[in-house]
Structure 1
């Protein structure tokens, strides 16, 4: 992995087949495609609404507004093809202890089962370790077996913590010491 964490500077990580880097405005179409491909069991606020939102223009505005930082969702670019296939990174949500970010990833369906999520996640884990994080979290729906397999491959283990939603399923919380 190459890259580093300097406050205020963008993070660029390199893995065998991949670069992980900040999103570019022109890649909002990839973000929109991710939104359209989401499983119907995903809550509506994370899918394209009946009103068509978010639009590509709204996603472009979001990319412009989110300045690169040492925490966030990095675009996953395949080095050889130069195309963006999803994202991976760290988010700092409110469902875990302070200072312990959550690993997240999502890939376009046509790139599933090729090892990209695992490769990208390992790059982010290496960066997190070198940046001084001691533990990371991940939250995943119990029905999302593919993501659960990726998290197991990169060393996450399930905790006792769960959030049950009668409509969308149970969210499992996993953790990994670095």
Structure 2
């Protein structure tokens, strides 16, 4: 059986309202828009810098150079065919070896419509069917909306917290699959 977690394997997931697929260069403008909408409390490495970076071209280059392994999938609405954000798994040093982190981000105009929860459930089901046993997710203490999504997905807050007086404490959550 082919390992669906192997690099080079293109993943596409579907829900009633969404299509989650590999990123395309044509997604760069929307992905940059996400950068412009971020809360000012987000750490500087995830903000547009004083030189206006990342630019759309920077994001296009990053997409071109990334491998096709499951990473962050672009999320499209089926009815409109528009890109509204991303959701997927990322490798981090936060969890144990082989335990990736769930990550998502959506355009503000699509908030409070259940898209983050719906897309995340699709990724969780894929992760479980692919043999993952546990996932991690981190969220800033001030991010009530993402904390509610984590609760709906049945992630459990751990005792692990990275204190950050400037950007807000980073809470670690986990989910057994």
Give 1:26 deviation, angstroms: 1.1
Query: Quick check: 2:137–2:173 contact (8 Å CA) kept in 1?
Result: yes
Task: Give 1:28's aligned residue.
Answer: 28
Q: Whole-Å Cα distance in 1 between the matches of residues 17 and 152 of structure 2?
A: 18
Query: Quick check: 2:91–2:100 contact (8 Å CA) kept in 1?
Result: yes
Once the two structures are superposed, what CA deviation does each residue of 1:62-118 show, in whole Å capped at 9, x if it has no partner? 01111211x300000111100110000000111111100000000000000000000
Aligned: 1:151 with 2:173: no
Question: TM (normalized to structure 1)?
Answer: 0.95
Task: Give 1:56's aligned residue.
Answer: 56
Task: Give 2:10's aligned residue.
Answer: 10
Give 1:6 deviation, angstroms: 5.6
Task: Give 2:42's aligned residue.
Answer: 42
Secondary structure of 2:163's aligned partner: strand
Task: Give 2:167's aligned residue.
Answer: 168
Secondary structure of 1:165's aligned partner: coil
Query: Quick check: 2:5–2:130 contact (8 Å CA) kept in 1?
Result: no
Q: Whole-Å Cα distance in 2 between the matches of residues 41 and 6 of structure 1?
A: 34
Moved over 2 A (4+): none
Q: Whole-Å Cα distance in 2 between the matches of residues 170 and 6 of structure 1?
A: 31
Task: Give 2:85's aligned residue.
Answer: 86
Alpha-carbon RMSD: 1.0
Task: Give 1:107's aligned residue.
Answer: 106
The runs of 5 or more residues in structure 1 that have no matched partner are none
Aligned length: 174
Q: Whole-Å Cα distance in 2 between the matches of residues 21 and 66 of structure 1?
A: 14
The runs of 5 or more residues in structure 2 that have no matched partner are none
Give 1:139 deviation, angstroms: 0.3
Task: Give 1:130's aligned residue.
Answer: 129
Query: Quick check: 2:19–2:78 contact (8 Å CA) kept in 1?
Result: yes
Secondary structure of 2:169's aligned partner: strand
